[in-house]
Amino acid sequence: MLYSMTGYGQAKSRIGGRSCAVELRSVNHRYLDISVRLPASLNSFESELRKLIGEKLKRGKINVCFNWNGANDVELEIDAKRIAYYVRKLRSIGRSLKLDPAFSVSDLVNLPNAFSSNSEKKISGREWVLARGLVRKALTRLLEMRAREGAQLVRDVENRLKKIRQAVAVIGKLSKQLPNLYKEKLSKRIEELSGGVCLDPEALAKEVALFADRSDITEELVRLDHHLRFFRKTLHDVGEVGKRLDFISQEIHRETNTMASKSAHHQIQKYVISIKTEVEKIREQIQNIE
């Protein structure tokens, strides 16, 4: 099955009294590039998360967003030893200055570094197992979307390959007619310029033979047919085919350019332009194939 590199997958659930949501977004990229945004409580699991995604996806820029929210997420950490130290020192200063310091809760809150909040509550191993299941579910949905996009790409490329084959078939027929067309055109032109003087059949035959040799595109047509067959076969192969398809499309474009340079017939040029147009559209599409 051929996969597009564009897709989206999401999974939600409640784990340990908290709302959890995993989002995976994928766009085209030359290689596999995974960008992860995790809560601090999940940072220790990032490498495992990357490995999990890398086992299923081979190319594309992947953005991973993990939201982990709940009413009990904030934990207040109190440094009791630091507070006791501050109180002893302040009381000592108060005695030396004959003051009677009175402390309230609001006073304690303002003590430097006495309190800190941990907005990311630690998660247990069991909670991570459940969270990992959410990642797998989101990944499955991402793959399903990439598969649907891939199927659409295949249908579009197949239609364009069909148009190219039709154009190549017409060019093949026209190329066989070129020597006779050139002979007729050359004979008429020489007759006009010579004022009705008889032509040398042998010289005319040599000129026509030279033209036929210079404009012969049989080899290009054979290679082009091979490339088109190989492209279609690769299109239905399993695995990473995007880079191979791009390389083959370059070869198709190269053979088409060679045909255009060797044959200046206006009808052939018209079909060559249509082939090059379809090849460019195919190359745009396969940039998004894994």
Q: How confident is the model at residue 144, as a pLDDT? A: 95
Going by C-alpha positions, the residue among 66, 70, 58 that lies closest to residue 9 is: 66
Torsional sign, CA 134, 137, 139, 141: negative
Number of other CB atoms surrounding residue 49 within 10 Å: 20
| The residue type at 20 | C
In the chain, what are the domains? Answer: 7-71+124-147 (3.30.230), 75-118 (no CATH), 150-286 (no CATH)
Concatenated DSSP letters for 86-143?
Answer: HHHHHHHHHHHTT------HHHHHTSTTSEEEESS----HHHHHHHHHHHHHHHHHHH
pTM: 0.68
Q: How confident is the model at residue 207, as a pLDDT? A: 56
Pairing mode, strands 18-27 and 60-69: antiparallel
Q: How confident is the model at residue 163, as a pLDDT? A: 95
Distance (Å, whole) CA 29 – CA 62: 9
Q: How confident is the model at residue 122, as a pLDDT? A: 66
Q: How confident is the model at residue 165, as a pLDDT? A: 94
Whether 32 and 59 have beta carbons less than 8 Å apart is answered as yes
Number of other CB atoms surrounding residue 103 within 10 Å: 13
Q: How confident is the model at residue 95, as a pLDDT? A: 79
Q: How confident is the model at residue 160, as a pLDDT? A: 95
**Partner residues linked to 12 by β-bridges:** 21
For Cα atoms 156, 160, 166, give the angle at the middle one, nearest 5 degrees. 150
Look at the chain and count its residues: 290
Q: How confident is the model at residue 198, as a pLDDT? A: 60
* Residue 12 backbone phi and psi in degrees, to 5: -130, 150
DSSP state of 197: P
Q: How confident is the model at residue 172, as a pLDDT? A: 83
| The residue type at 175 | S
Q: How confident is the model at residue 71, as a pLDDT? A: 41
Q: For the chain, 290 residues long, give each residue's pLDDT as a single digit of tens.
A: 788 999 999 999 988 777 889 999 999 998 899 999 888 778 888 899 999 999 999 899 999 998 877 544 555 677 788 888 878 888 888 778 777 767 676 777 777 777 665 555 567 778 888 888 999 999 999 999 999 999 999 999 999 999 999 999 998 888 776 655 555 565 565 555 555 556 566 655 665 555 555 557 778 888 999 999 999 999 988 778 888 999 999 999 999 988 877 776 778 888 989 999 999 999 999 988 88
